[in-house]
């Protein structure tokens, strides 16, 4: 297969000394369906509306980082269909470098997102072109990956693509293993940080140490992953904020209290903000404290990329409790 390259918020990403962020990941169109509640198995419900919006974890994280001032390069793939233009619209508007996005014959990825009135969502992803972001596609951007201060990866592309990117990276690796896919343990250990929610954390731990009992508490999950040889771990907890742990300590960071309208893409907003901050050289705790505010901002409106803040937006007030 050959590929064709197709008061205001203040972020340290604007203060100078910021390295580049390379995101290797998925690009989708989200079919967003709104309904009063989620259907039970076998049940048919009447939805209130539907629309098509740009999405994909890779694209979402790239937009979130770029809108917060980072220099972002995205590596991925879209189809030759009309949906590709929808998928790339906000990426282009936010200034993301798309020279590493390949055009392939498979259709652009599609995510079917159902959002209930309480803000909770369910997502079914059809990978399409994203399934072709393997080692060959990633290796065409080897120079950009090697030069990046931060390389960001997720679980919506093939394991071979993730492994190739990690092998070429010389900067910090942010591995958001969502969804959780099977990777070599040595590859997961390159994460700094590994970013997962509580469900993903348990699945990753089972890969790292199959004989280990799965902890029931979030804090224990983070500690167990660190004990498996991962340099730093960030566990996202939705409205409860996040836990982060690295060589500097173990910290609990509370999120601002907001009224959630749509939680889809909030985790990606968090990862994008985290990556933009890490590219400036700040410590992990400071990056997480900023990222929880960005995630809280994102849940206050519908959609993924369209809900992300820019440097002119005011973030919700943060109340952080830090426990060393």
Asked if 44 and 62 touch (Cβ cutoff 8 Å), the reply is: no
Alpha-carbon dihedral sign for residues 307, 66, 111, 52: positive
Cα–Cα distance for residue pair 235/222, rounded to 1 Å: 7
Alpha-carbon dihedral sign for residues 207, 324, 61, 260: positive
Which residues lie closer than 8 Å to 255 by C-beta, 6 or more apart? 237, 238, 239, 240, 241, 242, 292, 293, 295, 296, 318
| Catalytic one of 30, 144, 246, 268 | 268
Known catalytic membership, residue 268:
yes
**Which residue, 223, 162, 171, 206, is CA-closest to 192?**
171
Q: What is the DSSP letter of 131?
A: G
Cα–Cα distance for residue pair 116/130, rounded to 1 Å: 27
Instruction: Say whether 116 sits in a helix, a strand or coil.
Output: strand
Which residues lie closer than 8 Å to 44 by C-beta, 6 or more apart? none
Give catalytic residue positions: 268
């Amino acid at each position: 297969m050959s590929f064709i390259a197709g008061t205001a918020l203040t972020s340290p990403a604007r203060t100078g000394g910021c390295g580049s962020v390379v995101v290797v990941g998925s690009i989708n169109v989200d079919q967003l369906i709104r309904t009063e509640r989620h259907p039970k198995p076998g049940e048919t419900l009447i939805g209130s509306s539907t629309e098509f919006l740009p999405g994909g974890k890779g694209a979402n994280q790239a937009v979130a980082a770029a809108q917060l001032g980072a220099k972002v390069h995205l590596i991925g793939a879209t189809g030759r269909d009309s949906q590709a233009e929808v998928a790339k619209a906000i990426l282009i508007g936010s200034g993301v470098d798309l020279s590493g996005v390949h055009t392939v014959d498979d259709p652009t990825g599609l995510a079917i997102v159902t959002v209930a009135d309480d803000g909770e969502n369910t997502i079914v992803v059809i990978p399409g072109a994203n399934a072709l972001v393997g080692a060959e596609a990633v290796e065409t951007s080897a120079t950009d990956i090697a030069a990046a201060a931060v390389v960001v990866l997720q679980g919506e592309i093939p394991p071979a693509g993730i492994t190739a990117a990690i092998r070429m990276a010389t900067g910090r690796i942010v591995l958001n293993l969502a969804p959780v896919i099977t990777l070599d343990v040595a590859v997961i250990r390159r994460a700094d940080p590994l970013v997962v929610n509580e469900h993903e954390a348990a699945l990753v731990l089972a890969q790292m140490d199959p004989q280990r009992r799965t902890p029931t508490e979030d804090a224990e999950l983070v500690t167990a992953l660190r004990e498996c040889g991962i340099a730093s771990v960030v566990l996202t907890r939705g409205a409860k904020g996040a836990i982060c742990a690295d060589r500097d300590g173990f910290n609990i960071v509370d999120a601002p209290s907001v009224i959630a309208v749509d939680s889809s893409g909030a985790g990606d907003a968090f990862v994008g903000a985290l990556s933009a901050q890490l590219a400036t050289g700040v410590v992990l705790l400071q990056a997480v404290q900023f990222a929880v505010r960005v995630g809280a901002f994102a849940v206050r409106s519908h959609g993924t990329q369209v809900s992300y803040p820019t440097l002119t937006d005011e973030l919700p007030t943060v109340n952080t409790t830090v426990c060393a």
